[in-house]
Amino acid sequence: MKSNPAEFWDDRFGNEAFIYGTEPNTFFKEQLDHLQAGTLLLPAEGEGRNAVYAAIQGWTVSAFDISEKGKDKAMLLSEQNHVSIDYKVEGVLEYQSPTQFDAIGLCYVHFPTDIRKQAHQHILSFLKKGGILIFEGFAKSQLKHNSGGPKNENMLFSLEEIKEEFTSLEFSVLEEQTIALSEGEFHKGDADVIRFVGKKT
């Protein structure tokens, strides 16, 4: 991987194809569909597939990512679907917003280990009390699969780490399971994931 994460993601997002597809993450979609539309934050949103789906459903969507190329693709996808999203290019610890969001979605957001706990707490500070966080990420056992995700075990998740890093949430769903991923070129095949839905207490 390039030493500069923004360069890495600009390279990955720099081709014409949407490398994770244009459809929303399945778990994110299922859970979002249970909620009344309001304000939504999507950190590390990449090419915008989840943001655009939510905007189509009537959500007021804010997103950010370190990749300028990711934003370009997200803007293109939003234009194609005739919706608007507020998308900033900046790192997670630099992100600021006056909004307290009704919901936050974290889909395959694997921050570097040296900032991960701080990043998660920073993100949670933008979730209003009673707000919902929807999460899906690769479990540590994902290392045995070639269907996506970091190859650094410390960037992957365990159920224990989730409980430690999201202490302000009351979980209604918290599970580790093997699923069949079909999200573009880089998320394809059997995958070990952790999923949760948590309400901020």
The predicted-structure confidence for 66-110, as pLDDT tens digits, reads as follows 999 999 999 999 999 999 999 999 999 999 999 999 999 999 999
What mean pLDDT value characterizes the chain? Answer: 95
Contact 193, 142 (CB under 8 A): yes
| Residue 181 β-bridge partners | 189
CA pair distance 136, 128, nearest whole angstrom: 20
Lowest mean pLDDT among 43-57, 154-168, 177-191: 177-191
Domain interval for residue 196: 5-200
Into how many domains does the chain fold? 1
The whole-number pLDDT of residue 1 equals 45
The whole-number pLDDT of residue 3 equals 57
Does the structure show a pLDDT above 80 at 192?
yes
137: domain CATH number?
A: 3.40.50.150
